[in-house]
Chain A
Amino acid sequence: MGDSIKKWFSLNLGNSNTKPSGSCGCGNPSGGCGSHNSENTDENAIGEERHKDGFEQVFDVKMDRRSAFKKLTASLMVGAGAITTSCSVIVGDETKEKAQIDWEEQFKGNYKLMSDEEKKGTVDRLVRSYQLRTGKTISMSSKNAEEDVLFGYAFNISKCQGYMDCVTACVEENNQDRSSQMEYIRIHEMEDGKGFNFNEADDNYYHEVPAEGHFYMGTQCFHCDNPPCVEVCPVQATWREDDGLVVVDYDWCVGCRYCMAACPYDGRRFNWSTPEVPEEEVNKNQHYLGNRMRKKGVVEKCTFCVQRSRAGKNPACVEACPTGARIFGNLLDPDSTIRWVLENKKVFRLKEDLGTEPKFWYFMD
């Protein structure tokens, strides 16, 4: 990671992370989805953003090979297109289109390294493919991080009563697999008088809440500012965006699960089988890096509902919480509630000694 991740985080909210807008966090000009790439955008991109891309600085040569591969893919695509066209008597237009899309999707590049145009290209293909398969239209965004935004989260331990409305809302919002009951959020029920004793806490309770003599604490991905999960990924399928969100490109992940071993906060989930969401429950307002449909064998995690947060809304868990225990906002905005909490409450974070710098604080009234 050549860019601005410091080894040790200091809470310097005033002036961090001012970066040119419209960047994807790396700005690599030749991410290569095999299409949608004109000479012009390439040059602009190099002019503006080249300095930011650690990957490209180190592996300049590779990018050339990448584009060589892209060309190869493109020519193969032409070939495949020719074959399918010549067989057009047998297959319908839609089948052909679907095959074309599948092919391009299989050989597209890493989202992190795509230009804005390429991002749009892959999003369009995914929307079209969904339409071809189910006849339903979804909306999928590829909105980049905004300037002067760094998302943070605070959790009020005194308020949480363990209702788990956040968990339900999260599952619905983010199209999580229903069959394996995947949940990003875990609520730990702890006994009063024992402190934060996670060992004896129960994160899988089914009784009525709030239970007498207990308090509750929620965990999820903390969007670390120095995320160990990002460091270990062999293919850069997961990374920290400029607004602080740690995201996964589900199509680039190879499913090695090294990031799960590296996360100290149990923040990541794996699709052990093909995720199932009943068609009528699918949330059709999606983001490429967020709640779009996943496939089997890839890792996913909380994205602070990137499809909502980048559209100026609160994540689903914040909205769903009946007690107001969850606070979300822009750490760089001095007037935000989250800033008020950080400045006026006695906040703490979990496992601070690991140097991961979570952007998720706990506090009590």
Chain B
Amino acid sequence: MRRLKVFGSLVKDSLDVITHGSKKYHIWMAFLTFVMLVGMYCYSVQLEHGLSVTGMTDRVSWGLYISNFTFLVGVAAAAVMLVMPTYVLKDIDFKQAVLIGEGIAVAALIMCLAFVIADMGGPSVLWHMIPGIGVFNFPNSMLTWDVLVLNGYLFLNISIPFYILFRHYQGKESNSKVYIPGALLSVFWAVGIHLVTAFLYQGLQARPFWNNALLGPRFLASAFAAGPALIILVLAIIRTFTAFKIRNETLKKIAMVVTVAAQINLIMLISELFKEFYAPTHHSESAYYLFFGLDGKTALLPWIWTSISLNVLATVTLTFHKLRNNSKVLYFACFILFVAIWIEKGFGLIVPGFIPGPYGKIVEYTPTGIEIGVTLGIWALGAFVFTMLAKTAIKIETGALRYHKNES
């Protein structure tokens, strides 16, 4: 009973925290709400007219939604890079950062699920996919695996921080025996969500561009670069706008993680390019299309070359300690790395899988305004969720928010 009461007061207090803030905070939230409303309007148009309002066709049947989904799974998985040293190796440096990391993971997962639902032709019959009520084609379909691991990961990433914050809220220390097993599990789980998502594409013999053993590992490498890069940026923002203390060492350590992952990612990219272009086969056509265009069709060229230049620039910058230790340069490098990997895992991975088609037909894909609107709306939703989570968590962690027995 007591727990329930504490919980009730926590909910009340956090609502209070969420609805009160500085002017900048309100402007930020109002802006996100506006973007979400626009996204909702676009989605209602899509619901009414069907997916024909998007740029997708029978020839390129997945587009912007699935691209973003794929990328965000990576961002979510990256929280693990912080979880591991903090909880298990008792690296105190990371402790505050990890709560933020898990908040990002939760927001990213919610966005993932939203993108999958936005991509469905029949959201009203989505219950067909609920195990037990519908028919769940497990273990044959990798998509069912993905549904399971993503929801499991979401659960883990909600429950662990919730436990810790709940204890801190009452002014108690959290019991490491309770959360360490959970944290360990989430470490494996994060690798799992990423591999399973890669297998979603990797397992299709119909699409040689995806049917490639390096896809899974490369997903991991790019995720461990893009995810922590985002965390660095978010921490930097939080550091300037709130009382939350994040030490420089923490950022430096995360930057180290980003650097190593970005380097590995680049090596794998070179390996892939070598395989596709040293002895090109029929199966290299998608890669040719992506990097050089085919038959004068070159829609993806600007994207992929932007991505590669940003990627190389960021990796080189991060590799030099001098540059990396300068926080301005670090933020810039993280930002361009994030953008580079977003392009690479989105447009650079999903779309060329369909081009050229099974019989060599080249039909290009360009997202429509509606599609972009829905996408932006979902990103705003993610940012909204994250801001709420982070704001509450920071208040609790800095001690501003505590349970008062008499108050409730």
Chain A positions near chain B (C-beta within 8 angstroms): 1, 55, 59, 62, 65-66, 69, 106, 109-110, 113, 180, 182, 186, 188, 198-201, 203, 219, 228, 231-237, 251-258, 260-266, 268-274, 295-299, 354-356
Given known contacts A261-B207, A270-B58, A354-B206, A297 and B137 CB-to-CB distance under 8 angstroms: no
Enumerate chain B residues within 8 angstroms of A297, measured Cβ to Cβ: 50-51, 120-122
Per DSSP, are chain B's interface residues mostly helix, strand or loop, or mixed? Answer: loop
The reply on B143 being an interface residue by CB < 8 A is: yes
The residues in B between 130 and 172 inclusive whose CB is less than 8 angstroms from any CB of A are 131-137, 140-144, 147
User: Are A203 and B51 in contact (CB-based, < 8 A)?
Assistant: no
Measured between alpha carbons, how far is A260 from B204 in the docked complex, in Å? Answer: 10
Of A263, A271, A273, which one neighbours B206 at CB under 8 angstroms? Answer: A263
Given known contacts A254-B120, A270-B61, A270-B121, A65 and B51 CB-to-CB distance under 8 angstroms: no
Enumerate chain B residues within 8 angstroms of A233, measured Cβ to Cβ: 137, 141
User: Are B125 and A254 in contact (CB-based, < 8 A)?
Assistant: yes
Enumerate chain A residues within 8 angstroms of B126, measured Cβ to Cβ: 254
User: Are B128 and A237 in contact (CB-based, < 8 A)?
Assistant: yes
Enumerate chain B residues within 8 angstroms of A65, measured Cβ to Cβ: 132-133
Inter-chain CB contacts under 8 Å: number: 152
Enumerate chain A residues within 8 angstroms of B57, measured Cβ to Cβ: 272
Of A188, A253, A299, A354, which one neighbours B205 at CB under 8 angstroms? Answer: A354
Measured between alpha carbons, how far is A236 from B49 in the docked complex, in Å? Answer: 26
Per DSSP, are chain A's interface residues mostly helix, strand or loop, or mixed? Answer: loop
Measured between alpha carbons, how far is A198 from B356 in the docked complex, in Å? Answer: 11
User: Are B132 and A66 in contact (CB-based, < 8 A)?
Assistant: yes
Least distance between B146 CB and chain A CB atoms (Å): 9
Enumerate chain B residues within 8 angstroms of A106, measured Cβ to Cβ: 124-125
Measured between alpha carbons, how far is A295 from B122 in the docked complex, in Å? Answer: 9
Least distance between B43 CB and chain A CB atoms (Å): 13
Enumerate chain A residues within 8 angstroms of B56, measured Cβ to Cβ: 272
Of A228, A256, A265, A266, which one neighbours B143 at CB under 8 angstroms? Answer: A256
Measured between alpha carbons, how far is A214 from B131 in the docked complex, in Å? Answer: 52
Closest A residue to B203 using CB positions = A232
Interface size class of B (residues with CB under 8 A): 35 or more
14 other contacts beyond A199-B360, A236-B135, with CB at 8 A cut-off?
A62-B131, A106-B124, A228-B206, A233-B141, A235-B136, A235-B137, A237-B128, A261-B61, A261-B201, A272-B51, A272-B52, A296-B50, A297-B51, A297-B120
User: Are A253 and B207 in contact (CB-based, < 8 A)?
Assistant: no
The reply on B62 being an interface residue by CB < 8 A is: yes
Least distance between A97 CB and chain B CB atoms (Å): 21
User: Are B206 and A235 in contact (CB-based, < 8 A)?
Assistant: no
The reply on B367 being an interface residue by CB < 8 A is: no
Least distance between A126 CB and chain B CB atoms (Å): 16
User: Are B359 and A266 in contact (CB-based, < 8 A)?
Assistant: yes
Enumerate chain A residues within 8 angstroms of B137, measured Cβ to Cβ: 233-236
Enumerate chain B residues within 8 angstroms of A265, measured Cβ to Cβ: 206, 358
Least distance between B162 CB and chain A CB atoms (Å): 28
Please, what's the 1-or-0 string for B37-81, where 1 marks a CB less than 8 Å from any CB in chain A? 000000000000111101011110110000000000000000000
Given known contacts A231-B140, A262-B204, A254 and B50 CB-to-CB distance under 8 angstroms: no
Closest A residue to B145 using CB positions = A234
Of B52, B129, B204, B360, which one neighbours A261 at CB under 8 angstroms? Answer: B204
Query: Could you write out 29 A-B pairs with CB less than 8 Å apart?
Result: A62-B131, A66-B132, A69-B133, A110-B134, A186-B359, A188-B359, A200-B360, A228-B204, A232-B140, A232-B203, A234-B129, A234-B141, A234-B144, A234-B147, A235-B134, A235-B135, A235-B136, A260-B61, A261-B204, A261-B353, A261-B354, A264-B205, A266-B359, A270-B51, A270-B61, A273-B51, A274-B50, A297-B120, A299-B121
The reply on B119 being an interface residue by CB < 8 A is: yes
Enumerate chain B residues within 8 angstroms of A69, measured Cβ to Cβ: 132-133
Of B58, B143, B359, which one neighbours A258 at CB under 8 angstroms? Answer: B143
User: Are B122 and A254 in contact (CB-based, < 8 A)?
Assistant: yes
Closest B residue to A69 using CB positions = B133
User: Are A232 and B141 in contact (CB-based, < 8 A)?
Assistant: yes
Measured between alpha carbons, how far is A1 from B137 in the docked complex, in Å? Answer: 9
